[in-house]
Structure 1
């Protein structure tokens, strides 16, 4: 009887111990599971933080590169601006200079044309109508309000160039002259601006323009041959050679 009572008690104690052990195992397992979950979460957070850190580092490097590029561009554009300011300042200076030149040039051109007119009147009497027309054309050009100043300048320079060339070449023309009060058809030979000769069509009479008296003066007929050769050279009918002609000497 006592043995039978002991057996259930022992079995009950064993079951109680087994239940307690099982409860502890479950608690440990639960704690371990929680620790593993916490570690896994920490690992995920660490990886996320590492990814974010790398992205931020890339962004910082990109922003640093952009900052360096912007600083370079700022220096570059500052030099561009400085250069453009210098160009603008030079353009302003030129504009003011051009304005000043325009203010001085227009009256200067009028003076030049007036002097040219006086010069032509005092010069040897050759191509008189042509030269007077040129002077008249220049005067009308300078009085034309709608004509650009540059074109006025070009026309005056062109006229001066033509007048300059007269002093560097020779020419022959035929015209009617009044010699000793008689109208006579004659051939005119111009030696630059040095002298102006005439020879009648029959070749018997020759003369030279006398600046002092403002009239034609006859020359010794011995110069007729030399004058004829000079006219042939001017007309390119013979080769150039040295000739002896009087310059201002009258009969």
Structure 2
């Protein structure tokens, strides 16, 4: 059976339309698929950018923390350096002063060695002078004073005593002798009276008066110093007994200081006066 031309044309048109419709659908589906792929790619790219940005921010944060830490450490170290600079300046000033003192000490040591060579002969002369003075002086505490001089002479030969200590002891002995001249003292001892050794009480008032009294008070005497340094004991009148007893008690701190009547020795003829 043969189709008419019109039918053939209709059939051909229907087939073309159907093909066109299927083609359009295929194109639309392909277009949708392509858009989805592009969107997914864009989303993935954005996610990658966000991830990269987050990592970059973390890295920036770490670097910032490191910078801040290093900056704090820098400030701390800077302060320590400033403090050490001031400390070093102070230590340098002290070191300079110590070096100056060392120089002065070195010079002083050289001078001391010179002085030491000169002071030993001086001390020997001082001891000899003191010995002569004690021998010519009023004879109070003779054993004690002679022993002090002998100890000084022995000391000068000892190597275990420094020069400064030797000089100090010599000056101390001189000071003791000076103090004798302005003090009052009472002490007991033995005295040869007219060939008989008797136990007596001595009274010394400075260096102007040296008297004795026997324990029973029966005999009194005074030391008379001559102009040439020699002297002797002379008897005193019993008129001085009360004054001497009072003076002995004052010297022993048994009475308060008061006016006393004692004989005063002189290089020439003895005189009698009031002493306090």
Structure-2 residue corresponding to 1:123: 137
Larger Cα-atom Rg:
2
Gaps of 5+ in 1: none
Q: Which moves more between the two structures, 55-64 or 239-248?
A: 239-248
TM-score by length of 1: 0.75
- Mapped pair 1:4 → 2:19: no
Change in Cα spacing, 1:117 to 1:88, as seen in structure 2 (3 Å) is: farther
Matches within 5 A, 1:9-158: 9-83=20-94, 85-86=96-97, 89-90=100-101, 93=104, 97=108, 100-101=111-112, 104=115, 106-107=119-120, 108-158=122-172
Alpha-carbon separation, structure 2, partners of 1:34 and 1:207? 134
**3-state SS of the aligned residue for 1:226?**
helix
Give aligned pairs, total: 246
Structure 1 residue 225: deviation in Å?
2.0
- The partner residue of 2:185 within 153, 165, 170 is 170
8 A Cα contact 2:209 2:262, kept in partner: no
Structure-1 residue corresponding to 2:5: none
Report Cα offsets for 1:122-156 as digits up to 9, x if no partner.
32223223222211111211221012445434533
Q: Which moves more between the two structures, 209-218 or 97-106?
A: 97-106
Alpha-carbon separation, structure 1, partners of 2:229 and 2:86? 78
